[in-house]
Amino acid sequence: MNTIQDLLEKSIRNVADFPKPGIQFKDITTALKDAEVLKRTSDYLYNQYKDRGITQVVGIESRGFILGSILAYKLGAGFVLLRKPGKLPADTISVEYELEYGTDKIEIHKDSLLPNDIVLLHDDLLATGGSAEAAIKLISQFNVKETHVNFLIELDFLNGRKRINGVESIDSTIHF
């Protein structure tokens, strides 16, 4: 049987020069629409985290919501949304972070996590690490018990992993 890494490498589509020249965009829609890949990926991630006592999966908008919520359901955990500014309706806390040009912001509801939570942060892809670093800053404000971090894809050449500190584990299923 093909490994999950083989399946993902074959099914993720590379789109050159999207959204701007020079970017090799890793398009996961071609993996998600394949029923076997979606099931195998969900089962693989579940097996990886099932014994860690995860109580909340935190997903980064928007592609982190897809496998993140499947994982929350399979783990019997809750799901918490990290969103772009102005999208969450109740009281929020936010963090600003640097982009290549300018800054961006992400927000979380003030009442979304508790100190006894064991959190799994999920996003589809780790590039420069700016959004994951901001997400971890937000999560750390809740003084949660443990934070684990998961990406489906990691772009090793951008060294984003260096910006992720103070967490229990970091794992990516495939690397480019």
Q: CA-to-CA distance for 117 and 144, rounded, in angstroms?
A: 5
In the complex with ligand AMP, the residue whose CB is nearer, 55 or 60, is: 60
The residue type found at 134 is A
Q: Which of residues 104-163 bind ligand AMP (CB under 6 A)?
A: 123-132, 160
Residue 137: strand, helix, or coil: helix
Regarding 92 and contact with ligand AMP (CB under 6 A), the answer is: no
Among 25, 39, 162, 168, binds ligand AMP (CB under 6 A): 25
Could you say which of 83, 98, 100, 163 is catalytic?
100
Known catalytic residue at 63: yes
Q: Which residues pair with 123 in a beta bridge?
A: 151
170: number of CA atoms within 13 Å, CB side? Answer: 17
Q: Cα separation of 58 and 80, whole Å?
A: 5
Is the Cβ of residue 26 or residue 83 nearer to ligand AMP in the bound state?
26
* Catalytic-residue membership of 163: no
Residues tagged active-site? 63, 100
List residues binding ligand AMP (CB under 6 A): 23-26, 60, 63, 123-132, 160
